[in-house]
Structures are given as structure tokens and as C-alpha cells.
Amino acid sequence: MTLANDIIQEVSRAGGAASLVPQAEADRLVASVRSKFAEPGTQNILWHCLVDSESMHDPDGWKCIEPMIGGGEFFMLIKDYDRHRMVKISRGDILTVVLGETVGFEFYVFDSELNYLICFNDHDMLIGAGQAAEWVRSLRESLGR
């Protein structure tokens, strides 16, 4: 079973709906994310090249994301067996439960309008761009970091 399938299964268990985004659509969305949030022309790891972003180190940072994304639909970009895969998830209010039931992994979440991009990576860094940049900065300050 792949990580994407595990996520889809856990979303279903938590009362939501999720589906694997077809690769062509996922590639188009990743290009749009890079165009909006990353340095122009770079193909580096996305979180390495985000512009106007804020970050904080917190091993439990993934538990803080749900209030930022709210209850609506969002996309999750993951690396799954050396391939990038994307899952569309119906409810943001179940993200913490879903992540708590899966193995730790690097991921990005964003909405269809690209208002925000949030990453939690393998270095326990919570990174926000777009509307999420101010949210991460405020969260970092409220936690005294």
C-alpha cells in the first residue's frame, strides 16, 4: 500500500472524502504552486525556494495546521516512493486526526485558490507562504520562538 492510499483510507475513517489527483492535474497544480510561491525558474525542493515565507521548528508543528486551513477542501502534496503524489481532501477539520494515524512524512497543503501553502518537512519545520506566512509568524511569536 502506498502513502497516498494510507492517507485516503485514514480520511475515510475520519469521516471525510479523499481522492488521488490524476498526475497531469497534479503536475499542473504543482507548477501553479511554484509559480506563485517559489523563486522563479528554480527546480529545487519546494520548501528550499519559497519566497515571502515564515518558518518555525517544532516536532509537533503538524498538529497546528488545522486551524489555519479551516474545514474546507484542500490538496496535500506528498512524496510517495520517490514520486510526487497529490491527494484532494474534502475536510480540513480532520487533518490532525489523519496525520496522527499515518507515518511521519514531508507534505504540503494548499487550497484550490492558492491563498496559502503550508509545508511540514522532515526537519520538523513548519513553513507557511501566502496567507500562511503571517499565521506561522504569529504562531511562532505566541509560542515564544
Q: Which domain holds residue 130?
A: 3-142
CB-based contacts of 139, cutoff 8 Å, min separation 6: 56, 64, 126
Nearest Cα to Cα of residue 117 among 104, 132, 102: 132
Nine-digit cell at 108? 504540503
The mean pLDDT value for 64-86 works out to: 91
Mind giving me the DSSP string for 24-63?
Answer: HHHHHHHHHHHHHHB-TT--S-GGGSBSSEEEEE-TTGGG
Q: Where are the beta strands (DSSP E) in the chain?
A: 18-20, 53-57, 74-80, 83-89, 107-110, 116-120, 125-130
pLDDT at 114 over 90: yes
pTM (2 d.p.): 0.95
Burial (CB < 10 A; 0-12, 13-18, 19+), residue 22, is exposed
Q: What is the pLDDT of residues 23-35, one digit of tens each?
A: 999 999 999 999 9
Tally the domains of the chain: 1
Q: What is the pLDDT of residues 15-62, one digit of tens each?
A: 999 999 999 999 999 999 999 999 998 888 999 999 999 999 999 999
User: What integer pLDDT is reported at residue 41 of this predicted model?
Assistant: 86
Q: Give the integer Cα–Cα distance in Å for 48 and 123.
A: 12
The mean pLDDT value for 131-138 works out to: 98
